[in-house]
Amino acid sequence: MPQFDTQSVHAGYEPDATGAVMPPIYTSTTFIQSAPGQPGPYEYARSGNPTRQAFERALAELEGGSTGLAFASGLAATATVLELLDAGSHIVAFEDLYGGVWRQFERVRNRSAGLRVSYVPTGDLAALRAAVRPDTKLVWVELPTNPLLEVVDLEAVVQIAHAAGALVVADATFATPYLLKPLDFGVDIVVHSVTKYLNGHSDVIGGAAVVKDAALGQRLAYLQNAIGAVMDPFSSFLALRGLRTLHLRMARHSESALRIADWLQGRAEVSQVIYPGLPSHPQHILACRLFAKGHGGVLSVRLAADAAGVNRFLSRLKLFALAESLGGVESLISQPASMSHGSLTPELRAERGLGPELLRLSVGVEDAGDLIEDLAYALDGLGR
């Protein structure tokens, strides 16, 4: 089996009759059939497209899965996965999770399908056991979580869920298969926002799901086609291009994020630095066991400042752009309370520690020293 770095460059595509080393962008919406009801490998682009399939195969190989499926967005992937559940099913999710998934749970599927979700403190296995019921069909976990970067014992979560007959879905957007392959721990479905690290260049909206079990893969592929929220050919081409350098980018993201997180710990203007790679992180030992190659490019900080001070800090940044999303080659900074988690109620944000002083940094591939200088200049402004 080739090493991950080699797989990243070669997975998913064999040169076609033209000898092209990268797959062409097939824009055709339909394909010729030899006779009525006798299609070839492809018949209609929603059901299958050669460019999209190249990306899907590559991601499945990198994750160690049997089936990879690409969607129009990360939330489209989530929505399709939820269609595996019957109406009225029960879900258990850890509290710290992406606000868009919470919105889908609480403001869409609760109304449209009667899905009921119980939230438990992140990583609390006793609470997870207590929350699982006979009608629990799915346990949802992020690795690490967004935005508090908490880490859970994945093997234990899988054991608890499977004992109850529930599927385990892991959102590994922050980790990518370079840092962690959840399927190896028994997870049933891995989902990604391809928009983030897998593509890596902030120019594609996409999502993906990967499974190891072939029968489950067939069920999910049926839903992908039936619902139709598929990734378009051009985005598939760009996403596959992004995979080719995933190993290089994730190594740099992780190295720089650790350096910046360590530096931020020494600043009086910062009351807390949250990064799994720091010994100060509550689950640092577990994180080192799960993430052998590094701890990713995202870190969160709490500033020792009021809302006006936070805004002053953000306005002084030059290299870190204040913007939604993460995982691109450029460095971004966001305020979860007003951005990625703005859909949560004010009460929930307060309960979960998502105040205006909490900022999430996506460390890009720029020179880490330059990024530190940028943060230092912005932090210096808090004292003025």
Is 119 catalytic? The answer is: no
Among the ranges given (13-27, 144-158, 313-327), the one the predictor scored with the smallest mean pLDDT = 13-27
* The two three-digit tokens of residue 136, written as one number: 């629990």
Beta strands, E only, 275-373: 298-303, 321-322, 332-334, 358-362
| Selected catalytic residue, list 42, 46, 116, 124 | 46
How many whole angstroms separate alpha carbon 86 and alpha carbon 137?
9
Q: Which of 171, 188, 232, 374 is catalytic?
A: 171
| Dist. CA 147–CA 324, nearest whole Å | 13
One of 13, 26, 98, 197 is an active-site residue; which one? Answer: 98
Establish whether 352 is a catalytic residue: no
Whether 46 is a known active-site residue: answer yes
Q: Taking a C-beta distance cutoff of 8 angstroms, is the pair 191, 219 a contact? A: no
196 is catalytic: yes
Residue range 72-95: mean pLDDT, rounded: 98
Q: 122 CB contacts (<8 Å, ≥6 apart)? A: 94, 95, 96, 145, 148, 150, 152
Cβ pair 174, 191 in contact under 8 A: no
CB 152 within 8 A of CB 93: no
* Whether residue 58 has pLDDT greater than 70: yes
Average pLDDT of the segment spanning 92-104: 96
Structure confidence at residue 124 (pLDDT):
96
52, 109, 181, 196: the catalytic one is: 196
Instruction: State pLDDT tens for residues 261-291.
Output: 999 999 999 999 999 999 999 999 999 999 9
Kindly give the residue spans of alpha helices, DSSP state H, lying in the chain.
Answer: 4-10, 50-63, 74-82, 99-104, 110-113, 125-131, 154-163, 176-179, 214-227, 233-243, 246-264, 284-290, 307-316, 346-351, 368-380
Return mean pLDDT, the chain. 96
Of 15-19, 150-154, 342-346, the one with minimum mean pLDDT is: 15-19
How large a percentage of the chain has pLDDT more than 90?
92
Nearest to 206 by CA among 182, 226, 233: 233
Q: Is the pLDDT of residue 384 over 70?
A: no
Q: Is 202 left (phi over 0), alpha (psi -120 to 50) or beta?
A: left
